[in-house]
Structure 1
Amino acid sequence: MSRVYSIACLLLTSLLCSAAARADVQVLTSIKPLQLIAAAVQDGVGKPDVLLPPGASPHHYALRPSDIRRVRDAQLMYWVGPELENFLPRVMAQREQPSVAIQSLTGLQLQHFDEEHADDAHGAHADEHDHDHQPGSLDVHLWLNPVNAQVIAARMAADFSAADPDNAARYQANLAAFDERLKALNARLKARVATVKGKPYFVFHEAYNYFEHAYGLEHAGVFSVLGEVQPGAKHVDAMRERLQEAGPACVFSEPPFVPRLAKTLTAGLPVNLAVLDPMGAELTADASGYETLMDNLASELTQCLGDLPATN
């Protein structure tokens, strides 16, 4: 009996140790891109959760009671900051467990909207541009630069290791692997977008400055439209004039819908309509999710721009 009892104790000890090794940190991120980065660091240990559902705008989201409970109860919470998720500060102030506003991390390469850029981007309708992108304000789409993704991942790995020391080695190994993949991603995307540099494109949301800065691109203009409100005829004429001046070009909208204005603007012009998704709304949160987000942006850009005539 004593031998059987000893074996049983050993098995129980082994099971308990195994369970401890599999313990993971309960992580909640505000938006999908942060979830994708967290998933790379937690790979093989746990799965981070995300607050906003697919297609929801981080600029204008209304929290439900269940969302408030999730924010309150998460062991670790990551959000970009009040400049992006302006619906979160009051709820975040009620949290008792750790939270990280990503925009405050040391080492990020941050960009701000400036007066000259805003005037150039919005042209004749600068007075109607999106209030979320006022000149001088922080450009909050900071995850679209791989350098920033690396900084975010490093902070997450440190936090996860402190909260779950039994798996610290795995988090650090995942971080090292993510860093190596980012180097390969950077080289791959630079080579891909080099083939379409200089070809004109317009966007409906000024969300791509970090990506453009990293890879040497620049949009020709922003058709800033508040929701689905149809602008006046003078406004539409001014935007169409900009498209006519550009010649063959691409116009990119974002999911989940194409603005009704897009077809009005481009009718009869040598313009290709396409979609860019800076949020990766439908992506699976796995170890390679962030790279897929960036790869998809590069593919969508180069596919549309690549179909345009070569520039002189």
Structure 2
Amino acid sequence: MSRLFALSVAFFASVVIALPAQAEVRVLTSIKPLQLIAAAVQEGSGSAPEVLLPPGASPHHYALRPSDVRRVGDADLVYWIGPDMEGFLPQVLKNRSKPTVKVEELPGLHLRRFAADSASHAEDPDEHDHDHRPGSLDSHLWLSTVNARVIAARMAADLSQADPTNAARYQSNAKLFDERMDALDGRIKARVAGVAGKPYFVFHEGFDYFEDAYGLKHTGVFSVAAEVQPGAQHVAAMRARLQEAGKSCVFSEPPARPRLAETLTAGLPVRLAELDGLGGFNEASPRGYEQLMEKLGNDFAGCLEQL
């Protein structure tokens, strides 16, 4: 991957956003995973990235506060995924006079789209992930280390232009991040190797990038609109899928486990566990991205290896 990294840095250096030179650059990211990547790039520079969403908040349904709007306007650089992820941001970003990077448009990303007729969903037509329309971009792109490298390279190029004094540090940090991704991939693959093929269900189709990279595949998605209580027929159909799967895991996401989880799994040989793809409660440390990804691998394996 080192050659891909070098090409990414060279490309981004040629198109980097022009910012006035300054000793400190205020970086604001929409979500924690982007903040974790930025923290790795900014390590040792004297500056630390900020994040917009508080721990436990969903980027799909967040409501901006007046203080959030001010932070967006004041930041020197803003990084966000795109409108399929943070639907609350486009209108606010229109008023920014400083540079903004829409990560989903970076060249070199490996992108996925949600299948129009995914076999992972139940045959009940009401059972699908209401946050993700069939055919739309799967914007959980940070759960691929290939994409994380591309993001880090872009951040290093932007920061080098904005803060030339620390340019060598940013480039070195991004190179080290790139190298650490190889080791990270190896550790996660080894951790989940023994559980590939074991059945599990999710409440949110947000882990496809991770699953694809490490040989995992969810059996089904149990997702319903937050404002709609599923009917008895719908719940029965979902329970039938669990009964057919036998021993399996059902993964929800923090901070709250859906009440439906208990109803679905009562009396069945099913284990309940959590997956946190946003790393919402992680510290924004230079190794935070690796910690987020390794925790996902450990949480997958921790439940599935007990089946």
In the other structure, the counterpart of 2:277 is 278
Alpha-carbon separation, structure 1, partners of 2:210 and 2:227? 26
8 Å CA contact retained: 2:143, 2:207: yes
In the other structure, the counterpart of 2:82 is 81
Alpha-carbon separation, structure 2, partners of 1:156 and 1:253? 31
C-alpha displacement at 1:128, in angstroms? 4.8
Amino acid at match of 1:261: L
C-alpha displacement at 1:145, in angstroms? 0.4
**Mapping of 1:72-221 within 5 angstroms?**
72-117=73-118, 120-221=119-220
Alpha-carbon separation, structure 2, partners of 1:281 and 1:125? 32
8 Å CA contact retained: 2:22, 2:162: no
TM-score, normalised to structure 1, is 0.89
8 Å CA contact retained: 2:30, 2:80: yes
1:32 maps to 2:32: yes
> Which of 1 and 2 has greater Rg?
1
8 Å CA contact retained: 1:253, 1:275: yes
SS of residue paired to 1:57: coil
**Mapping of 1:51-66 within 5 angstroms?**
51-66=52-67
In the other structure, the counterpart of 2:49 is 48
Q: CA 1:189 to 1:197, structure 2 compared with 1: closer, same or farther past 3 Å? A: same
5+ residue gaps, structure 2, are: 1-20
In the other structure, the counterpart of 1:263 is 262
8 Å CA contact retained: 2:32, 2:278: yes
C-alpha displacement at 1:133, in angstroms? 1.0
C-alpha displacement at 1:25, in angstroms? 1.3
C-alpha displacement at 1:130, in angstroms? 3.2
SS of residue paired to 2:121: helix
5+ residue gaps, structure 1, are: 1-20
Higher RCO (CA 8 Å, separation ≥ 6 residues): 2
8 Å CA contact retained: 1:80, 1:101: yes
Alpha-carbon separation, structure 2, partners of 1:24 and 1:304? 44
C-alpha displacement at 1:228, in angstroms? 6.6
Alpha-carbon separation, structure 2, partners of 1:185 and 1:87? 32
1:128-149 residue CA offsets vs partner (Å, 9 max, x unmatched): 5333211110001000000000
TM-score, normalised to structure 2, is 0.91
Higher helix share: 1
SS of residue paired to 1:40: helix
Alpha-carbon separation, structure 1, partners of 2:86 and 2:23? 30
Alpha-carbon separation, structure 1, partners of 2:183 and 2:25? 28
Alpha-carbon separation, structure 2, partners of 1:247 and 1:204? 18
Alpha-carbon separation, structure 2, partners of 1:47 and 1:219? 36
